Amino acid sequence: MSQKIYLQWTRLCNYLKKEKTFKLSMFIIISCIIVPMLVTGIICNDELQYRFWSYQGFIEFIKHFMSEQILDKGRALSAMPFSIATYLGFVSQNLFVFKFVSIIVIISNIAMFSYFINKLFKNKWFAIFTFIMALIFLPISFELTPPNAYLTQYSIAFNLLLISFILFIDYMKENKKKTLIVSMILLYIGLISYETFITFTPIYLILCIIYTPKQHRNIKEIAKKLSAPVLVSVIYLGLYIVMGKIFVSNYDGNKLTFVSFKNSFDIILQLFKSSLPGYFLFNKKYQYLISIFISGKNIFEIFNLRIIILIPTLFITLKYIFKNIDKGIKENSKDNSALTSLILALLGCIFIIMPHIPIALAKSYQGVVNAEQVMALPTSYFSYFSAIFVISYILFKIVEKLGGKIIVVLASLAIVFYMIPIQGMNDIISKEQNRNYNRLINIENMFDTNIISSLNNQEITAKDLYKTVNAMGIHDGYWSNFAKLKKLDIQILNEVKSEKKFNIYYQDDEFFVLSKDNDITVLSPKILIGFYPVKINDDNYKSMEFKQYIKDGKLYIYNFK
């Protein structure tokens, strides 16, 4: 038996080692990684608002969020790109269309980052390696950062910034003004889309130093090449300050304040940690949440077929890449000195920290960014790529210096073993997020039933509909507004009124119970047969037999007296 297993394993290894099957192995890895992302849904109230306004069409969506960005948040420059990018993420209410757009954006971020690495190092295998590393370690969590939330708002702009860097490299090589102009336009759009991107502009200085020939590498020449990105950054900052004076922000997230060095340092440290691959594995809050989510489940429900397929495919692919990285670095690197390697690693570390500096000075984040409350923010996502670069660079330098099959195998195994719990956690959290999303969809479907339509002009107490679930908190009055969207004048209340007539309970997030005096109506997303305890008021349950039902919209209706 063991000989057969070994023989099959050897055949698999030999098959995947062939370069013509490399694309297939990459396809398998990408497919396996994106599976849990396909079902994550909406995790926060902000995205619930985006979904709500997307129901009303493009024009109303843009009008609402442009007004909010300009008048409430004082972000006049970013109002248009932010609103359009946000709408692109919510162009469809269908979960798979919604997630397909999100996944395309995520993959494009990783691909563009890898292409930038390829341009910088002239080594496609190192670029592919960073692509895989960024992909397999990307965490799914309840934090308000991509890939969990705010995907198109910030990730599209991140792509524009990366393309600007790539075009700037081309300009440094070819000295074509058209290339420089396009690069600077993309830089400006990126900056107005998200003000924190200003912290990435020193990369242009690094590119100027790298791509200015040694014989011309002086302050005057570098300053000349750097003048365009400096000018764009200065124009942006000037406009940002002027617009901030005209449209005063009521939003603390873009109001700078200074409490203390310790406060700012603590924020930067927390966001730095959350940018590191695998951080959530070691966070006590997430360890506790995972223990709850997996309670009563067996090992095969956690480490499923996706991960079982991923393990050998990733291992063989990494071995193949490491062999080519070693070859590519020696052929293409201009300077393999220890000092150069150290400088590159340190620069990478600096750009893990840089995006968090404005956040550390923002008023709304003082005292709330820590390991128990807000653990990560959108800047964590951008810093994640810097962290991936540093880790990938160190790993390939180790493989290059030490070499040998044993080192390659050990490095590949280390990556695979570290990937397993991260992807296991991604599976667990994505399933929980999918349950939360289905809960939201079931509530929305309830408003499409004739039963609810018959309650027009009524007040209903429905505290269960406003229950906070994980990161999803729903503000008071939301469901009343949603009813209006469905052409219903129903007040859905999150409090008990003195003369209430109707109650809606979402019992165990399984089915809805509509109660009025002695009349009980159950609305269920699935067929119920047999006896079930039913919540008839705030304090009491009654066992009821479920037999006959009628289909109303997407729900099954059971009436009881």
* Domain extent listing, the chain: 12-438, 447-560
Residue type, 285: K
Distance CA 240, CA 180 (A): 23
Q: What is the DSSP letter of 403?
A: -
* Secondary structure (DSSP) of 208-268: HHHHS-GGG-SHHHHHHHHHHHHHHHHHHHHHHHHHHHHS----GGG-B----HHHHHHHH
Profile the chain (561 residues) by mean pLDDT over runs of 10 residues: 60 61 91 92 91 93 90 87 93 85 94 95 92 97 93 94 96 93 97 94 94 84 93 95 85 72 93 96 93 72 82 94 68 59 89 94 88 94 97 90 87 96 94 93 95 92 92 92 94 78 92 89 95 91 93 94 74
* Secondary structure (DSSP) of 419-479: HHHHHHHHHHHHHHHHHHHHHHHHHHHHTTSHHHHTTTT-EEE-GGGG--BTTB---TTHH
Close Cβ partners of 528 (under 8 Å, ≥ 6 residues apart): 511, 522, 546, 549, 556, 558
Count of residues in the chain: 561
Which pLDDT value is given to residue 74? 81
* Secondary structure (DSSP) of 168-201: HHHHHHH--HHHHHHHHHHHHHHHHH-GGGGGGT
Distance CA 372, CA 369 (A): 8
Distance CA 101, CA 99 (A): 5
Which pLDDT value is given to residue 426? 95
Label the pairing between strands 530-535 and 541-546. Answer: antiparallel
Which pLDDT value is given to residue 359? 92
Q: How far is CA 134 from the centre of its chain?
A: 13
At 288, which helix (H) or strand (E)? helix 284-293
For residue 31, is it left (φ>0), alpha (ψ between -120 and 50) or beta?
A: alpha
Tokens of 150: 């705010």
Q: Which of 208, 125, 34, 46 is nearest to 396 (CA)?
A: 125
Distance CA 301, CA 307 (A): 11
